[in-house]
Structure 1
């Protein structure tokens, strides 16, 4: 096994966090800003790139950092190493309501394709790269569909997704079409493409995106019910157009009506 072998436990329901147990000298790598808490004796260090190529020289580090920049992530990641004598724990929290999905890459063929913002943490040695979609034109206009993250290795990795998570296994030749934002992750043996919604009226007035992902089995796919982009758009739509708060018929709104502009 090339990756560090870590134990873990997931706590919570809708706002989950994962607690990773580290033996002496074991290391876990995580996205910057995902730390929740850690025991005394754990050394935290910021690394350039994904942390899996720190011994490959300057060019290897630049390549790893460049891949992360293309996916819209930070150029840096953070490693947490147990430098004590006994077992230590470090915890990472979800960035928004949803679920943390533990993935053992050794059981998934050593490779997983996921949304560019889905990666949360992994055992040291897991490589975080990019997976290009073949049709560049459709990928550019498809938003989430163009560049996805590629996680490679044989250790544990933790992926976060919004809302309820549905795991679907596709038989050979079976096809499913998914909103590009709802696609969380898939195994590398799935044939993946992006298609534009047919029909001008459907595309403009249907209330859905202009593109959807077409996945053909065999393989496994993970789907989220609440993409962060959808959550953010609903929050933005509910914000008042001008300064101040938007009253929705509560006591504050009643006082404003009775008191007038005083």
Structure 2
């Protein structure tokens, strides 16, 4: 094992957090801002780069790690939490929006998981958070996640989060699964990821599901989310007040209709 071995426990249902148990000198890395609480005896430190072996890298290595994180839309910095006490200590990390936290032991999945670019939450020290470029133009332009996705490499525990309910699907060799482009959370390294256009002009234009599917071809494991954050955000934005008076256009039209019915002008 090159990674620190950490124990954990998940709490909650739709608003989950993960509690990590650290033995003396064990370390967990996490995205900046994901900490929920930690016990006395845990030392917190902000690091520059991807969080894996940063102390042993030169300045160029650290800059490369930080640059990769900028490309995925993340912060230049990560935070480490190290147990500097004599007994077991606990630190908890919360997901940023309603959904599930998925614990993944990278040693069970060939040492690498590819996931959507904002899915990473926390991991044992030693896990590398890098970038995965989509080699195909179609997947890059229309894949919902763009050309760049995150890759998590190592042999330790890592935690990713996604919206709604999460399901893991096992794909046999040659088996294909079509999913909405925003619903893909993560996949193992051997899964072939591509984009397929919806067939039929009427279905594409009026089906309400977009013009493209993500096609995932096995063998391997894929994780699918029922509620992508982009879908949730678009519904919230559509329902938000759109008029200077603070009411949405729908509310204004209903109120105006009632006012007219009651004899107002």
Q: Which residue of 2 aligns with 1:120?
A: 121
Could you give the per-residue CA deviations for residues 93-126 of structure 1, whole angstroms, max 9, x where no partner exists?
A: 0111111010000111100011101110000000
User: Structure 1 171/46 Cα, relative in aligned 2: closer, same or farther at 3 Å?
Assistant: same
- Equivalence map 1:110-259=2 (5 Å): 110-136=111-137, 138-243=139-244, 244-246=246-248
8 Å contact kept, 1:142–1:210: no
Q: SS at the partner of 1:50?
A: coil
User: Structure 1 34/152 Cα, relative in aligned 2: closer, same or farther at 3 Å?
Assistant: same
Q: Which residue of 1 aligns with 2:42?
A: 42
Q: When the two structures are superposed, what TM-score results if normalisation uses the length of structure 1?
A: 0.91
What is the distance in 1 between the residues matched to 2:157 and 2:139? 32
8 Å contact kept, 2:28–2:125: yes
What is the distance in 2 between the residues matched to 1:260 and 1:120? 57
What is the distance in 1 between the residues matched to 2:250 and 2:238? 14
What is the distance in 2 between the residues matched to 1:11 and 1:236? 30
How many pairs were matched up? 257
Q: SS at the partner of 2:68?
A: helix
Aligned-pair CA distance for 1:50: 1.4
User: Structure 1 12/118 Cα, relative in aligned 2: closer, same or farther at 3 Å?
Assistant: same
Unaligned runs of 5+ in 2: none
Is residue 33 of structure 1 aligned with residue 38 of structure 2?
A: no
Q: When the two structures are superposed, what TM-score results if normalisation uses the length of structure 2?
A: 0.90
Could you give the per-residue CA deviations for residues 18-40 of structure 1, whole angstroms, max 9, x where no partner exists?
A: 00000111100001110000001
8 Å contact kept, 1:53–1:64: no
What is the distance in 2 between the residues matched to 1:121 and 1:134? 27
8 Å contact kept, 1:111–1:152: yes
